[in-house]
Each structure stands twice: as structure tokens, then as C-alpha cells.
Amino acid sequence: MTHDATLRHTPLYAAHAALGARFAPFAGWEMPTRYGSIIDETRAVRGGAGLFDVSHMGRIEIGGGGALGLLNAVLSVDPHRIRTGRARYNLICDERGGIIDDCIIYRRAEDRFLLIPNASNTDTVLDWLREHSGEDVSIANVTEDVAMIACQGPSAAETLQRLTDRDLSRVRPFRAVNAAVSGADAFLARTGYTGEDGFEIMLPSERAAALWESLMELGAKACGLGARDVLRLEAGLPLYGNDIDTSTNPYEARLGRFVEPDREGYLAGEELRQLRLEWPHERRLTGFRVSGRGIARPGYKILDGEWAIGLVTSGGPSPTLDLNIGMGYVPTVHSEPETLLDVEIRGRPVEVWTVPLPFYRRRTR
């Protein structure tokens, strides 16, 4: 087995290679993009249970008596309102309201938190935390020591339940618990990035391969980053670097519900309070469906007649909906559902219709 020594590898690299995965560089890591068909992997998650190696994402432990003060300064949500065993999606914004990263924060104890930044932003987030930390705060990057596996899909809980004595039916969405899984001490979180039910399992890196194999033996299908991108797009979830970055703010990205700016000590509070007042905003992240079979790729122009009014930020085929979809920023006056626009695909305009987000919403039991 050979690999690119310049790229980092997760504890599951050998398992992916044994399955014949196709690899590609991603945020400094060599990651599996697919094992077979991206369509088959996408449908496995929508119809059953799929497995993703998400160990490339960051895992940062924050603790100490000053942890709440630090997190209050940098997170878009109020950490004081997060109960132990709960999780919150949030944004880390700079003083201008630009999005440095979007993360999940877990409160594991009174003064102990776990932050999950995107792989491409782990070092940036670490630097930001350290820059703004005060006394009595510990910040530890445990990414190398702790693996993370996502088991996602309508059968995910049932599949994972066979490997733990913890009653997973009592773990509601955006809750997290400690549990033994296949004999390993693990942290189970009912969160994910696919639009489906499921769990993210964090456990010692040396135990990851055994858990991966056990879940596959129970019928969960190995899935790569290709299917993960399709699933998150169908669910209308933004991808950092495509749909959000420091040039975008939460309100134009339709993420205002994850911002609580009215807090003393919040670094971005003043700017975000001002942005909140500026409704309607100049532009909005907007979903669209393509008429016909054209595929709208990131970077393609969005047109109103002859005028370019925006760029596609994410786009591609949706196996679940059997049509081509995409997202991009357009002037707010063009963002209302069922607005007819065009996307320039291979030099010619192709009709698209704006639609509400998300494109796909799972059925709940």
C-alpha cells in the first residue's frame, strides 16, 4: 500500500485502501472520495445506514474556569445556555461579522467543552481561540488522538444500538452521551451533516478500525466525501470555502437563527447587531433547481437576462430528487421562490428556478 507522504492520514486509511477506495487530497488529508458509485452511497444513507470517516475534522477540547468566557467571546451562540450533554451548531465570526468557520460545540461538563471545526480551519480556529483566551483556560488539539466516525441514515440508530448497552432511543437530536461501543469508551453525539438521523462516534484512534469493521458487518455501507457532499447539498447545508467564508456574514447566508449577538463580551456582537438591522440584505444565499439536465458547477455565473448577478457556490446532481440543484448568492430581490433565472453552463444560458431551502427534508418517524 502506498500513499502520499505529504498528506495526513486518518486512523482508518488502511481500512479505506482495503475496500478499494478512491482517494483525493482534502484540506491537507488524503481522504476517500468514493468506494464505488457515489449515487449508490448517497442512496444507502437516505435508505439505510452509511459510514463516513470524519476523523479529518478538528477536535478541540476547551476547559477551565475561563472556558465559558472565551467561548462567549468567540461563538455566535451563548455557551451559558448550552446544558451539559447538549450540542449547538454555531459560527465563529471575526469582528466584521465574516464567518471564520462553522462548528459544533458540545458541553461535556460544567467547564469542559468539545469544539468540532472544519478540517481546513482547525489551525485557524486554534489560533483564534488562543488569541482571545484569558486566564484559567486550557485548549488542547486532540484530533490525532481521537477518531470520529459518522453513522448516518434512517437505520443508523438501530445499527449502532447493536454495539452498545446505552439506550440510544433516549438520546435526542443534538444530545451527546458517554457510552461503551464495541468495548471502547466513546462519546456518542446525535448530530451529522447529511440531513438524516444518525450519530457521530468519537473514540480512541487505535479503536477506530475495529468499530468501522463491526458497523460494516452489521450492514452499514462505507461512503466517501463525494456522497457526503451530495447529501449535505440536498439538505441545504453550507460548505465552508464554497458557500460561506470571511467574505460572507450569517444573515446573508441564511444562518441568522444561529446568532445571538446581544451579549456583553461577544467580539462580533456590535457588527452583527448592525447587520441584523440591515434587512433586506443586499444578497442572499439562494437555492435553485435546473431545468433540464445541465449541471451547475461552483463558479458558474448566475444571470438575470444578459446581466451576471451572482455565482454558483455549490451545485450538482441530486440522486434523491432526480434533478440538478445548486446554491449561490443573488440579490435579495431575485431570491424569492419560483424566480426564473439562468446559469451559464458551458457558455450557454440554462434556465433555473429558485426554490426554498432545504431541497430535501427527511421524514421523521
Helix (H, G, I), strand (E, B) or coil at 70: helix
Give residue-wise pLDDT tens across range 263-308. Answer: 999 999 999 999 999 988 899 999 999 998 899 999 999 999 999 9
Q: How far is CA 9 from the centre of its chain?
A: 20
CATH number at residue 152: 3.30.1360.120
Give residue-wise pLDDT tens across range 43-95. Answer: 999 999 999 999 999 999 999 999 999 999 999 999 999 999 999 999 999 99
Q: Give, in degrees to the nearest 5, the angle at Cα 116 between 115 and 120.
A: 130
- Whether 136 and 168 map to the same domain: the answer is no
Task: Tell me how far apart the alpha carbons of residues 156 and 365 are, in angstroms, rounded to a whole number.
Answer: 13
| Mean confidence (pLDDT) of the chain | 97
**Contact (CB, 8 A) for 86 and 174:** yes
Task: Tell me how far apart the alpha carbons of residues 226 and 238 are, in angstroms, rounded to a whole number.
Answer: 15
| pLDDT mean over 103-108 | 98
- Whether 104 and 150 map to the same domain: the answer is no
* Residue 196, pLDDT above cutoff 70: yes
Q: How many residues in total does the chain contain?
A: 365
- Whether 181 and 300 map to the same domain: the answer is no
Name the grid cell of 351: 434556465
What total number of domains does the chain contain? 3
* Residue 256, pLDDT above cutoff 60: yes
**Contact (CB, 8 A) for 331 and 280:** no
Task: Tell me how far apart the alpha carbons of residues 230 and 319 are, in angstroms, rounded to a whole number.
Answer: 8
- Whether 132 and 148 map to the same domain: the answer is no
Give residue-wise pLDDT tens across range 117-159. Answer: 999 999 999 999 999 998 999 999 999 999 999 999 999 999 9
Q: Is residue 257 part of a domain?
A: no
| pTM (2 d.p.) | 0.96
CATH number at residue 333: 2.40.30.110
- State residue 5's pLDDT score: 72
CATH number at residue 88: 3.30.70.1400
Q: Give, in degrees to the nearest 5, the angle at Cα 221 between 219 and 224.
A: 165
Q: Is residue 22 part of a domain?
A: yes
For residue 286, the enclosing domain spans 280-365
- Whether 137 and 110 map to the same domain: the answer is yes
